[in-house]
Homo-oligomer: A and B are copies of this chain.
């Protein structure tokens, strides 16, 4: 029973009637399975819940294509293969490490070091029992569903980092960083709230991960971009030079797919198909994203004198990140306000970080995920009843300190051991040639030598 409740993101006291139902379902289902009578109504709710959670799972999965598209669209053609390679790899690394250690670090059941760390063992396996595969269920879905939905979340945290460090980080170094980051840092931090740890006990609230996913990724992005330094030619004696991305259609595809996937990211975080809650989450999520676009549009039009497409793309993501912490507890009006403010914040944050703080973040990942992730988490303490602003702030700071320390150690250790940044020559020529020996668009990039190709074999033949 204790373990059962731990696996809920919400505190038991906030559980809706549906999470209570899940206990009935569990009992009813087990009873049914032994008796072999017809299905009960609780069985049917179980089936529908599980369908919804699996739908949410594939929606979160396609967010990885969203990240791959927006990150490669907002960077240069000569680094596109590299960015795509990172984003494809991270999905694989995220899912596999989550199966090996992540799931059992994030949802340890019992904690062994206070409420800070616990580990339920290597690997995954559906608990045995009278009803076999289906016997183990949380909130009306199966153990397998629980695992795969959470596994899809895991990889996103590392993916967020990849945008900020793009166009200059060594591929192998990034892969090592992200493997450890997603396997250990994200998961242990996650256990503090979603695994039933100390922040959960304190009343901290983060519905779908403004902090647990987006800020954690954002802090990693910040540290990575800081340690790497700016791209060559970004900050010159004659001033700041904007480096435009190579494909706005690709970036736009990315934004739409991220928003699309967010219906699963937030909608699935209800952890059931509870009609009232899931549909409210759809409404608040949509309104915040829409308001983020409008906020970013108005502000960027005023500041830049021109309407800026990349800014409204980031505005929609800002609204989405902002609503994520409280998507299930906001009114439509609060959702619009949170999204609008997020859209305004992201424009100023991009300008400030780029122009004054002088951290080079090619895709605006720090502004979108870290800054708006913090905003969204604090907004729960402002707009929603029953939550304390101070507790939300403590949560934000705790995740900040932990992630910054971990990311610092990781990036510095990798820098020392294997180096972090590609050579100047490679950066100038593009990481596609340097790291991969192939170009993303050989028919259009028309490089003169035979080094460019989308294939590396035959290894030795001319």
- Residues of chain A having any CB pair with chain B under 8 Å: 17, 21, 24, 28, 33, 36, 38-52, 54-55, 57-59, 61-62, 64-65, 68-69, 72, 74, 76-78, 80-81, 84-85, 87-89, 91-93, 95-96, 99, 123-126, 132-134, 137, 141-145, 147-148, 151, 171, 238-240, 242, 244-253, 255-257, 259-260, 263, 267, 273-280, 282-283, 286-287, 289-291, 293-294, 297, 300, 303-313, 316, 331-333, 336, 350-351, 354-355, 435-444, 452-459, 461-462
Contact = CB atoms under 8 A, between A and B. Distances in A.
B99 A142 contact: no
Contact of A61 (B74, B248, B260): B260
Question: Interface centre among A87, A151, A242, A274, by most B CB within 10 Å?
Answer: A242
Most buried by B among A51, A59, A452: A51
B123 A332 contact: yes
Contacts of A278: 50-51, 54
A246 B143 CA distance: 42
Contacts of A39: 21, 24, 41-42, 44-45
B99 A242 contact: no
Nearest to A242: B455
A39 B50 CA distance: 16
A278 B274 CA distance: 20
Nearest to A82: B309
B249 A287 contact: no
Contacts of A151: 286
B248 A336 contact: no
A17 B42 contact: no
A439 B244 contact: yes
B247 A95 contact: no
A76 B444 CA distance: 10
Contacts of A21: 38-39
Contacts of A355: 457-458, 461
Given A88-B293, A253-B69, A43 B41 contact: yes
Contact of A441 (B124, B248, B462): B248
A282 B309 CA distance: 35
Nearest to A453: B244
Given A47-B49, A444-B444, A309 B279 contact: no
A65 B260 contact: yes
A354 B457 contact: yes
A290 B96 contact: yes
Contact of A43 (B45, B276, B289, B453): B45
Nearest to A275: B50
A300 B244 contact: no
A289 B125 CA distance: 19
A20 to B, nearest CB: 8
